[in-house]
């Protein structure tokens, strides 16, 4: 695709950047004019195949017609805001969310962002631990669980919250099992009877790193025997991204977590997030303050209800069964390219792991110039996660562009 200079977009980027902190700026300077289906358009009319889903949000596709109709209907009903009061659309959405979820979940709380859900999960595990004489939360090095103090306390490393001067000495970080031969070792944990819970990303985000199935199975079996809670952060893996409604189900149907943190793809559009759990856990402290001013916003609930109906429909489920094998085959074949160490792929997510960050970032920029928008991690990886409505032909086209970009970037880096 021939690219025209995006003069209007560059001016928009500069004007916006002048009013925002430097820490909020996008590495990739690509202002959007509109997005539809699996395509993004800039201000010069250039079209891009979106391999980011707007960073894992637009699972149902950008500007999905069913979601737009639901939003417009709610907008015209003069119900734009309802604080935390009950509404019909909130009731209907909660009912649908629990209906499509595994049956052992019987309680949901609505929030506005993924970071808020992790904060709530942290609180739930702390409250549960306080009641049962347990204090430790186990998490993994290299993880990411959102923005906020409690999020930083359980993300990445024990130093992540260093900016605050606050440290939770009862958060224990394990090495992530990057090797497929890694084995879960309970000897590296505190006494089982003192563990309140485990906080897990369904896959480690920056490179779509999955746990070895036996490792995760052994961890969950250990937690169950020890009486510790298991929480999955499903922000990137939820709502059919990996094929199943929630990504943890792709490891084993026998895994039954106690808490799920949900967001991003929950609405494919407007800001909403949720925590799924059981009432026996959520109600340990009736005064835990597990809602917010915008919890259950009617427009967001309407969008999310339409999103769940769309994604769980027989038509879309049949579409996923058709395109996921194409995706996994096409992305896995990238593993043999120069500069690429390996490819992690499952469902409609892929993480391409490079020898170095310079080559990965250069490949991203080449992709964008040629009409494909990947996730730039600024690390030695590229992430790919298209809207679930993407076609097999578009997958093949995007991967061919990516293949050429990787080869070109690797060739330049060797000179």
Q: Does 359 have pLDDT greater than 50?
A: yes
Cα–Cα distances in angstroms (integers) from residue 101 to residues 65, 308, 355, 408, in the given order: 24, 11, 39, 44
Q: Across residues 255-268, what is the average pLDDT?
A: 98
Helix (H, G, I), strand (E, B) or coil at 63: coil
Owner of token pair 């809670």: 229
**Residue 413's pLDDT is what?**
62
For residue 30, give the DSSP letter: -
Query: In sequence order, what are the residues at sequence separation of 6 or more whose Cβ sits closer than 8 angstroms to the Cβ of residue 72?
Result: none
pLDDT digits (tens, 9 = 90+) for 17-50: 889 888 876 677 888 999 999 999 999 999 999 9
Which of 179-183, 286-290, 308-312 shows the lowest mean pLDDT across its residues?
286-290
Q: Does 209 have pLDDT greater than 90?
A: yes
The secondary structure of 67-119 as a DSSP string is HHHHHHHHHHTT-S--TTS--HHHHHHHHHHHHHS-TT--EEEEESSHHHHHH
**Residue 2's pLDDT is what?**
46
Six token digits for residue 152: 């930083």
Name the pLDDT band for 414 (thresholds 50, 70, 90): low
Q: Cα angle at 384 between 273 and 264, to 5 degrees? A: 5
**Residue 30's pLDDT is what?**
87
Among 131, 89, 103, 58, residue whose Cα is nearest residue 276: 103
In a domain, 196, yes or no: yes
Domain boundary among 287, 311, 335: 311
Domain boundary among 258, 283, 311: 311
In a domain, 41, yes or no: yes
| Whether residue 122 sits in one domain with residue 101 | yes
Rounded distance between C-alpha atoms, residue 269 and residue 61, angstroms: 9
Q: What is the mean pLDDT of the chain?
A: 94
**Residue 228's pLDDT is what?**
98
Domain boundary among 256, 282, 311: 311
| Whether residue 323 sits in one domain with residue 277 | no
Helix (H, G, I), strand (E, B) or coil at 313: coil
Q: Does 139 have pLDDT greater than 90?
A: yes
**Residue 292's pLDDT is what?**
86
Number of domains in the chain: 2
Rounded distance between C-alpha atoms, residue 308 and residue 268, angstroms: 9
Helix (H, G, I), strand (E, B) or coil at 352: strand
| Whether residue 69 sits in one domain with residue 56 | no
**Which residue(s) pair with 138 in the sheet?**
172, 198
Q: Across residues 212-230, what is the average pLDDT?
A: 98
| CATH code of the domain containing 135 | 3.40.640.10
Sheet holding 34-36: strands in order across?
34-36, 39-41, 47-50, 372-373
Residue 135 lies in domain: 65-311
**Residue 20's pLDDT is what?**
87
**Residue 286's pLDDT is what?**
87
Q: Quick one: what percent of the chain has pLDDT higher than 70?
A: 97
In a domain, 2, yes or no: no
306, HSE (Cβ side, Cα atoms, 13 Å): 24
Q: Does 322 have pLDDT greater than 90?
A: yes
Q: Cα angle at 37 between 261 and 399, to 5 degrees? A: 90
The distance in angstroms from the start CA to the end CA of the chain is: 27
Name the pLDDT band for 4 (thresholds 50, 70, 90): low
| Whether residue 79 sits in one domain with residue 41 | no
Q: Does 291 have pLDDT greater than 90?
A: no
**Residue 5's pLDDT is what?**
63
**Residue 7's pLDDT is what?**
62
**Residue 8's pLDDT is what?**
67
| CATH code of the domain containing 359 | 3.90.1150.10
| Whether residue 302 sits in one domain with residue 209 | yes
| Whether residue 383 sits in one domain with residue 303 | no
Global pTM reads 0.95
Q: Across residues 77-97, what is the average pLDDT?
A: 96
For residue 222, give the DSSP letter: H
**Which residue(s) pair with 37 in the sheet?**
62
Q: Does 3 have pLDDT greater than 90?
A: no
Q: Across residues 235-250, what is the average pLDDT?
A: 98
| Whether residue 156 sits in one domain with residue 53 | no
């Amino acid at each position: 695709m021939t690219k025209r200079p995006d003069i209007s977009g560059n001016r928009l980027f500069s004007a916006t950047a002048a009013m925002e902190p430097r820490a909020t700026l996008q590495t990739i300077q690509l202002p959007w004019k509109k997005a539809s289906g699996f395509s993004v358009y800039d201000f010069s009319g250039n079209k891009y195949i979106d391999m980011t889903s707007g960073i894992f949000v637009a699972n149902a596709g950008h500007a999905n017609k069913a979601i737009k109709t639901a939003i417009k209907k709610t907008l015209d009903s003069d119900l734009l805001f309802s604080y935390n009061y009950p509404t019909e659309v909130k009731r209907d959405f909660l009912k649908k969310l629990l209906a499509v979820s595994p049956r052992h979940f019987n309680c949901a709380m609505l929030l506005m962002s993924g970071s808020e859900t992790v904060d709530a999960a942290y609180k739930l595990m702390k409250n549960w631990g306080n009641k049962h004489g347990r204090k430790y939360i186990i998490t993994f090095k290299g993880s990411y669980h959102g923005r906020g103090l409690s999020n930083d306390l359980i993300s990445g490393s024990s130093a992540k919250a260093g900016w605050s001067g606050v440290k939770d000495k009862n958060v224990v970080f394990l090495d992530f099992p990057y090797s497929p031969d890694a084995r879960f070792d309970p000897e590296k944990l505190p006494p089982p009877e003192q563990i309140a819970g485990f906080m897990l990303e369904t896959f480690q985000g920056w490179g779509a790193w999955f746990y070895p199935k036996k490792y995760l199975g052994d961890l969950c079996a250990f937690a169950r025997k020890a009486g510790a809670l298991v929480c999955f952060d499903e922000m990137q893996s939820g709502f059919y991204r990996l094929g199943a409604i929630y990504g943890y189900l792709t490891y084993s149907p026998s895994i039954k977590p106690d808490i799920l943190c949900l967001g991003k793809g929950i609405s494919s559009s407007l800001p909403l997030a949720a925590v799924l759990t059981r009432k026996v856990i959520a109600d340990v402290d009736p005064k835990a303050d597990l809602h917010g001013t915008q919890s259950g916003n009617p427009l967001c609930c309407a969008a999310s209800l339409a999103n769940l109906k769309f994604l769980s429909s027989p038509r879309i489920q049949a579409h996923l069964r058709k395109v996921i094998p194409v995706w996994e085959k096409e992305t896995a074949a990238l593993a043999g390219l120069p500069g690429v160490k390996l490819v992690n792929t499952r469902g409609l997510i892929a993480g391409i792991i490079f020898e170095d960050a310079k080559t990965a970032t250069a490949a991203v920029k080449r992709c964008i110039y040629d009409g494909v928008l990947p996730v730039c991690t600024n690390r030695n990886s590229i992430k790919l996660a298209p809207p679930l409505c993407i076609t097999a032909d578009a997958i093949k086209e995007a991967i061919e562009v990516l293949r050429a970009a990787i080869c070109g970037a690797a060739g330049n880096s060797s000179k």
